[in-house]
C-alpha cells in the first residue's frame, strides 16, 4: 500500500477508486454506536460528504441511532469495498451539523425522500405498511404546491476521526494494515500484524 503522511489524502485516493470500481454504493458505510449501557449497535448509512473536518451522514434524530448518538458521541465507521478487497475503519466523535448545512442537503434529496423524512417514525413500531403509505399520501397532498421543509427531527452528524485503519487484502491472509492515530496536530502512523 502506498503510504501517505495524511490519512485524508489516502482516503481520497481509495474513495475515488471505490467510486470508479465498486458496483454498489461506494459511499455505503457501517455506523456503529452504543446504547447507554454499552451494548453495540451497527447499521448501514450513506456517506453524504466528507473533508478534513470529518465524515457526514444524515438521519432521523429520534431513531435508535439518533438517540444513541445523543447519549454517546463515540462512534465507529467502516467502509468495505469488497470488489477492491479493501476496507477503512474510522473511530471518532460525532457532532451535529449546522442547521444551514442540513437544510442545504435536505433540498437536494428526491421529493419522495423528503416526504419520507416526515412520514417515517424511524425505529419505532410500524402497525402496517399501509399506515406508512397513507402517511406519505397525506403528505403529498399537504405539500402538493409548497416546498417541503426539513423536519425538525431530521439532521446530520459529522464524525471527526481520531483513528483510521486502512486494510488491504493480500495473498495468504498476510494483509496490509496501516493505522493513523490522531496526536494533537499530527498523525502517528503504525503498521499492524494482519
Residues with catalytic annotation?
A: 173
Task: Give CA–CA dist 5/193, Å, rounded.
Answer: 20
- How many Cβ atoms sit within 10 Å of the Cβ of residue 166? 21
Q: Are 10 and 4 in contact (CB under 8 A)?
A: yes
Half-sphere exposure of 156 (CA within 13 A, CB side): 24
Contact 90, 76 (CB under 8 A): yes
Residue 181 to residues 54, 92, 126, 172, 186, Cα–Cα distance (Å): 14, 10, 42, 27, 9
Amino acid at each position: 500500500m502506498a503510504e501517505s503522511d495524511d490519512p485524508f489524502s489516502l482516503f481520497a485516493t481509495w474513495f475515488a477508486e471505490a467510486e470508479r470500481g465498486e458496483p454498489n454504493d461506494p459511499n455505503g458505510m457501517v455506523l456503529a454506536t452504543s446504547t447507554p449501557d454499552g451494548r453495540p449497535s451497527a447499521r448501514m448509512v450513506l456517506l453524504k460528504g466528507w473533508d478534513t473536518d470529518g465524515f457526514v451522514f444524515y438521519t432521523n434524530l429520534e431513531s435508535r441511532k439518533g438517540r444513541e448518538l445523543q447519549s454517546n458521541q463515540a462512534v465507529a465507521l467502516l467502509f468495505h469495498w469488497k470488489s477492491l478487497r479493501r476496507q477503512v475503519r474510522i473511530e471518532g466523535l460525532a457532532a451535529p451539523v449546522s442547521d444551514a448545512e442540513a437544510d442545504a442537503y435536505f433540498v437536494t434529496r428526491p421529493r419522495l425522500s423528503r416526504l419520507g423524512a416526515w412520514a417515517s417514525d424511524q425505529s419505532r413500531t410500524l402497525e402496517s405498511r399501509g399506515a406508512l403509505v397513507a402517511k406519505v399520501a397525506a403528505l403529498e397532498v399537504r405539500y402538493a404546491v409548497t416546498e417541503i421543509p426539513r423536519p425538525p427531527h431530521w439532521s446530520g452528524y459529522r464524525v471527526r476521526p481520531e483513528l483510521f485503519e486502512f486494510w488491504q487484502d493480500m495473498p495468504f491472509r498476510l494483509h496490509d494494515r496501516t493505522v493513523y492515530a490522531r496526536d494533537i496536530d499530527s498523525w502517528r502512523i503504525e503498521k499492524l500484524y494482519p
